[in-house]
């Protein structure tokens, strides 16, 4: 599933290729992918030029010269391709023909991906929390959490921090030695600090490695991200913890799988460690 690092990788790859290119042709194969009337969608894009491509949380943002912005959320299986293989074609949902014979294909096996258009001047994606790439930003968020919800649930809440998903939340909690069920408002200052250090580091490392491929995620060139081999707990249920050799456990928290090491992420005991406000 594409999270912040995977989306950043795709944005970095798309940027030099489609910046300055004009949309010459549009084909919508699966209308629900487009969160708008297909005619309005076509009208807004056709004949217009991509000026800037950025990322916000797990969204790609394509700005046009008109000031409109096209945001794309890849959800689980969304990908952009320039050279789809034969077998990809049944899963192509939207096609954008650009200048110079360049064609951008949006492939999405499970059809959960969504594209949305924003009028000029409108603030994009207002529900999203801050970007989690700076330690101080993350620390400010984590130390002021009021909710007793499990920290794992809170890290996945995009209104709290934008861009962290299941993989990197599990990895950060492991590296910080925090049990995923720890109440968000019960983090010690030390835990909040440690998580704040780890989250940006993990995300930046994953960007360097061009993301984590579990099954579907591919870079625009169709290759797999290299970050899978750096994972400590995600998808390693039953395998030995890289630190203490204890089997990595899996549990379900709020309908999401959580992977953790019971020894390295032992819950704090009531007798010790939990600080008052």
Partner DNA sequence: CCTTAGTCCTGCATGC
Partner DNA sequence: TGCATGCAGGACTAAG
Site residues (CB under 7 A) for DNA? 1, 32, 57-58, 73, 75-76, 90-91, 109-112, 127, 146-150, 153, 156, 158, 165-166, 254-257
Q: How far is the CB of 82 from DNA (least distance, A)?
A: 21
φ and ψ at residue 182, rounded to 5 degrees = -55, 130
Least Cβ distance, residue 154 to DNA (angstroms): 9
Question: What are the Cα distances from residue 178, in Å, to 60, 190, 250?
Answer: 31, 10, 15
Task: For the CB of residue 101, give the shortest distance to DNA in the complex, in Å.
Answer: 28
65 is annotated as an active-site residue: no
Give, to the nearest 10 degrees, the angle between helix 189-208 and helix 135-143: 140
Compare residues 255 and 271 and give the one whose CB is closer to DNA: 255
Is-catalytic flag, 86? Answer: no
Nearest-angstrom CA–CA distance, 233 and 244:
12
Nearest-approach distance from CB 2 to DNA, in angstroms: 8
- Residue 134 CB-half CA count within 13 A: 6
Has 149 been annotated as catalytic? no
Nearer to DNA, 98 or 234 (CB): 234
d(CA 260, CA 248): 6
CB closer to DNA out of 23 and 62: 62
| Per annotation, catalytic residue among 2, 5, 132, 200 | 2
Q: Is 256 helix (H, G, I), strand (E, B) or coil?
A: strand
Catalytic residue among 55, 56, 58, 107: 58
Q: What is the C-alpha to C-alpha distance for residues 8 and 25, in angstroms, rounded to an integer?
A: 26
Residue 256 annotated to the active site: yes
What residues act catalytically?
2-3, 58, 256
């Amino acid at each position: 599933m594409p999270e912040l690092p995977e989306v950043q990788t795709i944005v970095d790859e798309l940027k030099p290729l489609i910046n300055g290119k004009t949309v010459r042709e549009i084909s919508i194969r699966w209308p629900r992918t487009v969160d708008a009337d297909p005619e309005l969608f076509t009208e807004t894009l056709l004949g217009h030029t991509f000026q800037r491509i950025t990322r916000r949380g797990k969204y790609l943002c394509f700005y046009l010269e008109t000031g409109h912005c096209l945001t794309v959320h890849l959800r689980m299986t969304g990908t952009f391709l320039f050279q789809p293989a034969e077998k990809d074609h049944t899963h192509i949902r939207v096609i954008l023909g650009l200048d110079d014979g360049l064609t951008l294909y949006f492939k999405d096996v499970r059809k959960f991906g969504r594209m949305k258009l924003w009028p000029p001047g409108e603030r994009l994606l207002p529900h999203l929390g801050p970007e989690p790439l700076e330690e101080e930003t993350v620390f400010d968020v984590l130390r002021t959490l009021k909710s007793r919800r499990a920290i794992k649930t809170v890290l996945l809440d995009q209104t709290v921090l934008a861009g962290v998903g299941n993989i990197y939340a599990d990895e950060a909690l492991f590296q910080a030695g925090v049990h995923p069920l720890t109440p968000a408002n019960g983090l010690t200052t030390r835990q909040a600090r440690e998580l704040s250090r780890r989250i940006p580091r993990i995300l930046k490392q994953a960007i360097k490695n061009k993301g984590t491929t579990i099954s579907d995620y591919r870079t625009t060139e169709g290759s797999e991200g290299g970050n899978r081999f750096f994972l400590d707990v995600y998808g390693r249920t039953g395998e030995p913890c890289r630190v203490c050799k204890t089997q990595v456990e899996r549990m379900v928290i709020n309908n999401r799988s959580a992977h953790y090491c019971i020894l390295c992420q032992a819950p704090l005991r009531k007798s010790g460690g939990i600080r008052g406000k």
